[in-house]
Amino acid sequence: MEAKLARLIHEQRRREVAITGKGALAHVLPYELFATDPDTAAFIAYITARGCMRSVFTNGRQRQIYDEVAQALFQRLRNLPEQTCWYAVAHVHPTAEVLTHVSDQDLTQLLVRWNGFLRQAAGLLEDAWNRHPLERDTMIVRRGNDSSTWNQAAQAWNTARAHWFALLTELGHDEILDRICPGKVPRLMAADVAYWHRMSGGGLHPDTYVWADLPLPWEVLRGEKECPRTLVEAACARHRVDPIAGAWTAPRPAAEAVAFRRTPELVHGVAVADPLMASALRSAGVFSGKGKRAAAQEWT
């Protein structure tokens, strides 16, 4: 019973981390704030839905969240700033333009919440690491790695860290980063995707090398190891990474809107143009890494 309880608590923590990694604090936003006005609700709902899209099996960048539709919805907020609930928007979109409209008291509340969540995400990362340490120099999945927990926690950590940096800067307390500047955490990459990258002329992302040079996040948060801004800047310099543009020592730069594209049908992460074909492939177990089911083979 104790083992089952521990597993249940672990899965509840993982679910909370997964939701926050994709949708930031949208899931804890009180309805009355979300529904302050239709434009605020529409922007938050759209950004959250975009953030919760499934990843696509690709050797390039994933689809970006902020697209032309998000930009058009955000422009409506700009047009009526006095009607917009900027505090609600800051739960999911903490740009400097948004945070300027939020009171210091509300900014501090968000900062405290993200402080706690950073520790929660770091705890899951540490648990996954302790079960089977990762190959930090490549971040390629090896047998025994808990890649699901690690990738969910890494995404949540990076989301929380981005909000934390933005809030510190807006509150005028970014000098804290001179003393404690925890790094970003990369996701684990499947060996076949890594091979695809190499075959197409790519390689490891430069951020991977920076991450490998820095103390582990949970060690930094507990004060066991120091990670000041100067240490991060030095690691970035060694690997020719811009620490500001790369959001290693500063908030993320404001996102440029990308072209709107319809969300494709996905079968185990692979985009399929035709919904009927996607249904057939999904039923057959194609792209799942498992043997195809006989009944589905007959149907196709």
**Same domain for 276 and 143:** no
Whether residue 252 lies inside any domain: the answer is: no
Of 221, 238, 255, at which residue does a domain stop?
238
Of 219, 238, 257, at which residue does a domain stop?
238
- CA neighbor of 148 nearest in space, from 5, 285, 18, 287: 18
Q: Are 189 and 201 within 8 A, CB to CB? A: no
- Residue 63, token pair as written in the block: 């689809």
**Same domain for 279 and 233:** no
**Same domain for 68 and 14:** yes
Q: Which helix (H) or strand (E) holds 229?
A: helix 229-238
**Same domain for 21 and 74:** yes
Residue 295: pLDDT band (50, 70, 90) is very low
Whether residue 247 lies inside any domain: the answer is: no
92/58: higher pLDDT = 92
Distance CA 244, CA 182 (A): 14
Given a cut of 70, is residue 199 above it in pLDDT?
Answer: no
**Same domain for 186 and 48:** yes
Given a cut of 70, is residue 175 above it in pLDDT?
Answer: yes
**Same domain for 231 and 134:** yes
Helices then strands, each counted (H, E), the chain = 14, 2
**Same domain for 272 and 211:** no
The count of residues in the chain is 300
**Same domain for 133 and 39:** yes
| Tokens 């993200």 belong to residue | 114
Is beta strand 265-267 parallel, antiparallel or unpaired with respect to 270-272?
antiparallel
Instruction: Provide the 8-state DSSP code for 241.
Output: -
Whether residue 245 lies inside any domain: the answer is: no
Residue 300: pLDDT band (50, 70, 90) is very low
For residues 152-162, average pLDDT: 95
Whether residue 255 lies inside any domain: the answer is: no
- CA neighbor of 280 nearest in space, from 255, 300, 262, 251: 300
**Same domain for 274 and 156:** no
198: containing domain: 2-238
Given a cut of 90, is residue 201 above it in pLDDT?
Answer: no
Residue 72: pLDDT band (50, 70, 90) is very high
Q: Are 161 and 182 within 8 A, CB to CB? A: yes
For residues 58-66, average pLDDT: 73
For residues 269-285, average pLDDT: 74
**Same domain for 17 and 102:** yes
pTM of the model: 0.86
Distance CA 244, CA 177 (A): 13
**Same domain for 229 and 290:** no
For residues 39-47, average pLDDT: 96
Of 220, 238, 256, at which residue does a domain stop?
238
- Residue 101, token pair as written in the block: 């409209």
**Same domain for 274 and 137:** no
75 to 67, 175, 275: CA distances (angstroms)? 12, 32, 33
Residue 275: pLDDT band (50, 70, 90) is confident
Whether residue 151 lies inside any domain: the answer is: yes
Give me the amino acid identity at 73: L
Rounded to 5 degrees, φ, ψ at 117 are: -70, -35
Whether residue 214 lies inside any domain: the answer is: yes
Query: Based on the structure, what is the number of domains in the chain?
Result: 2
Whether residue 251 lies inside any domain: the answer is: no
DSSP annotation string for 75-116? HHHHHSTTTS-HHHHHTT---HHHHTTS-HHHHHHHHHHHHH
The pLDDT, as a whole number, for residue 296 is 47
Whether residue 219 lies inside any domain: the answer is: yes
The pLDDT, as a whole number, for residue 220 is 96
